[in-house]
């Protein structure tokens, strides 16, 4: 039960008709600031605005005829739910997305627009999760984890292949770390093709469950606090099969970033790359901006992982960040 580079290559072939490669561009502003050669990977430019489309597409294309017929279910208010809804609609597969009662109405509307059936249940993620598993059982739907799934991980790993196809000279890659699906896939691809490459996990200062679990040597739960990077904090269920062991084995180092650093990175990205990204999407750039010395002279890539944020909210975060000195 392990994921190999061959699985990631097969994922790349499989998803190609549905998910276009994203741009990898040198960032002049970051390269100047760090005295390094910095590249940004624009995963905010997929059809659903985040990399999660890669894993969800690989998963759905890999279903058996029977599973396709019955449909799928997941829990997510964010990018995974959007990705599953979008690709399920494209493939004509029934998709149900469970969300808690605290999710804002525009997120529910966004998912329904993508064609998903939305079930609102419970006050927190655990209750919505339990409801999704109950419905899966009752209706014979396949439950899709946002990160701890071999097909999802292989799909996210296609980013690693694209990075080295365009910039084989990379020596350091920064990858946001939450449940670890993104990191597991990318790190597996990178280390298989270029073992000496350094892979650094970027976590929020708060609720960094994977990082705390790696430090503890076992899966631990951490206190959840609201963060402007709402894609980053989140629990790791104790029955984890893949991502904990893969991250433990493959990640060389870790950097944590604060909400304030993320807000400043969102401002930097808007001014210099002319993109609005969500908090989680800006975390890699936040790590670069606040650890400039460490990356001096390196060929380094960071990933803009997603843009699932209302523009008004992003602009207000950016305006507040700019009223404080950097």
Ligand X SMILES: *Cc1c(COP(=O)(O)O)cnc(C)c1O
Q: Report the interface residues with ligand X, using CB under 6 A.
A: 50, 52, 78-79, 147, 176-183, 231, 278, 280-281, 305-306
Minimal distance, residue 122 CB to ligand X, in Å: 20
- Residue number, 37 or 97, with CB nearest to ligand X: 97
- Residue number, 68 or 262, with CB nearest to ligand X: 262
- Residue number, 78 or 122, with CB nearest to ligand X: 78
Q: How far apart are CA 72 and CA 185, in angstroms?
A: 22
Minimal distance, residue 79 CB to ligand X, in Å: 3
- Residue number, 147 or 244, with CB nearest to ligand X: 147
- Residue number, 60 or 174, with CB nearest to ligand X: 174
Minimal distance, residue 149 CB to ligand X, in Å: 10
Q: How far apart are CA 83 and CA 231, in angstroms?
A: 14
**Which of 248, 249, 269, 245 shows the shortest CA–CA distance to 317?**
269
Exposure string over 228-262, b if 16+ CB within 10 A, otherwise e: bbbbbbbbbeeebebbbebbeebbeebbbbbbbbb
Residue nearest to ligand X (CB): 306
Burial class (CB in 10 A: 0-12, 13-18, 19+), 326: exposed
Query: DSSP strand E in 141-288: where?
Result: 142-143, 172-176, 198-204, 253-257
Minimal distance, residue 255 CB to ligand X, in Å: 14
Sign of the Cα pseudo-torsion (99, 153, 238, 227, in order): negative
Minimal distance, residue 144 CB to ligand X, in Å: 13
- Residue number, 56 or 73, with CB nearest to ligand X: 56
User: Are 40 and 30 contacting, i.e. CB atoms less than 8 angstroms apart?
Assistant: yes
Minimal distance, residue 139 CB to ligand X, in Å: 26
- Cβ neighbours, 10 Å, residue 203: 25
Q: How far apart are CA 326 and CA 313, in angstroms?
A: 20
């Amino acid at each position: 039960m392990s994921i190999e580079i061959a699985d990631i290559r097969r994922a790349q072939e499989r998803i190609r008709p549905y998910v276009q490669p994203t741009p990898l561009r040198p960032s002049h502003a970051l390269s100047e600031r760090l005295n390094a050669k910095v590249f940004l990977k624009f995963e905010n430019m997929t059809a659903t605005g985040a990399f999660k489309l890669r894993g969800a597409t690989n998963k759905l294309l890999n279903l058996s005829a029977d599973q396709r017929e019955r449909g799928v279910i997941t829990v997510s208010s964010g990018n995974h739910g959007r990705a599953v809804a979008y690709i399920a609609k494209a493939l004509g597969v029934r998709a149900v997305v469970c969300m808690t009662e605290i999710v804002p109405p525009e997120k529910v509307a966004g998912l329904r627009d993508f064609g998903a059936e939305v079930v609102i249940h419970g006050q927190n993620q655990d209750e919505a999760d339990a409801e999704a598993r109950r419905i899966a059982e009752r209706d014979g739907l396949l439950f899709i984890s946002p990160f701890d799934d071999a097909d999802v991980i292989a799909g996210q790993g296609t980013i690693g292949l694209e990075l080295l196809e365009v910039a084989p000279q990379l020596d350091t890659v920064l990858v946001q770390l939450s449940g670890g699906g993104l990191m597991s896939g990318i790190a597996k691809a990178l280390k298989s093709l270029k073992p000496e490459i350094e892979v650094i996990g970027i976590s929020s200062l708060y609720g960094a469950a994977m990082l705390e679990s790696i430090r503890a040597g076992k899966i631990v739960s951490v206190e959840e606090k609201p963060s402007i990077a709402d894609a980053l904090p989140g629990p790791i269920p104790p029955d984890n099969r893949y991502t904990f062991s893969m991250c433990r084995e493959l990640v060389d180092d870790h950097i944590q970033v604060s909400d304030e650093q993320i807000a400043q990175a969102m401002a930097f990205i808007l001014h210099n790359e002319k993109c609005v990204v969500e908090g989680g999407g800006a975390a890699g750039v936040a790590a670069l901006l606040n650890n400039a010395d460490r990356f001096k002279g390196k060929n380094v890539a960071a990933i803009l992982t997603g843009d699932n944020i209302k523009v008004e909210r992003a602009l207000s975060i950016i305006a507040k960040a700019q009223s404080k000195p950097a």
